[in-house]
């Protein structure tokens, strides 16, 4: 019972924090810039097509966060959160070092690890997945993480090529 309650607490807090962060990009809530401005920002970072990468980011953060908080399709939510936070760590925060106070990757790394841990362990007893019997075997979860990594690396590679193309113009 304590383990399931702990997982509920972790899922709800991490999920709602990530969903709130994603809502800033998607809907402009909580002082965010909204979808169109996020598209422009990702375009300035070299992402092509920027609208597609914005859609991936907002689905990963807003959608994945809500699903994680609800305990619905939890392993899939963990995979898309992993992808969104991994991209944020590498593309946005890595150059600033570890600590969040200087714009570093400390906080997105914690969210990434928490999501993967929940994806591996499961959502606990107090989750919609438990009610409907949804379980993703660990090998399929690992495969999902691998696919997410490939998508992230495609985004990183194509955005670097775009930046390099602009540098030569």
pLDDT tens column, 44-85? 999 999 999 999 999 999 999 999 999 999 999 999 999 999
pLDDT of residue 166: 42
pLDDT of residue 159: 86
pLDDT above 60 for 163: no
pLDDT tens column, 74-126? 999 999 999 999 999 999 999 999 999 999 999 999 999 999 999 999 999 99
End-to-end, the C-alpha distance of the chain in Å comes to 61
pLDDT above 80 for 169: no
pLDDT above 60 for 136: yes
pLDDT tens column, 14-54? 999 999 999 999 999 999 999 999 999 999 999 999 999 99
Here the tokens at position 112 are: 């990434």
pLDDT above 50 for 164: no
Here the tokens at position 167 are: 């540098």
Contact (CB, 8 A) for 66 and 122: no
Cα 5 from Cα 20, distance rounded (Å): 22
The per-residue pLDDT of the chain, averaged, comes to 93
* Length reported for the chain: 169
Q: How confident is the model at residue 161 (pLDDT cuts 50, 70, 90)?
A: low
Query: Rounded to 5 degrees, what are φ and ψ at 121?
Result: -80, -35
165 burial (CB, 10 Å; 0-12 / 13-18 / 19+) is: exposed
pLDDT of residue 44: 92
Task: Give the position of tokens 């670097």.
Answer: 160
Q: pTM of the entire structure?
A: 0.91
């Amino acid at each position: 019972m304590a383990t399931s309650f702990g997982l509920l607490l972790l899922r709800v807090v991490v999920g709602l924090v990530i969903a709130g962060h994603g809502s800033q990009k998607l809907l402009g809530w909580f002082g965010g810039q909204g979808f169109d401005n996020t598209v422009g920002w990702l375009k300035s970072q070299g992402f092509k097509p920027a609208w597609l990468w914005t859609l991936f980011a907002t689905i990963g953060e807003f959608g994945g966060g809500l699903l994680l908080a609800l305990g619905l399709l939890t392993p899939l939510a963990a995979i898309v959160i992993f992808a969104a936070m991994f991209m944020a760590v590498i593309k946005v925060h890595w150059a600033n070092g570890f600590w969040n106070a200087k714009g570093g990757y400390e906080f997105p790394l914690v969210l990434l690890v928490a999501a993967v841990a929940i994806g591996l362990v499961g959502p606990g007893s107090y989750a919609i997945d438990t009610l409907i019997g949804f379980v993703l075997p660990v090998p399929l979860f690992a495969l999902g993480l691998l696919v997410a990594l490939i998508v992230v690396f495609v985004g990183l590679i194509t955005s670097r090529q775009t930046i390099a193309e602009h540098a030569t113009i």
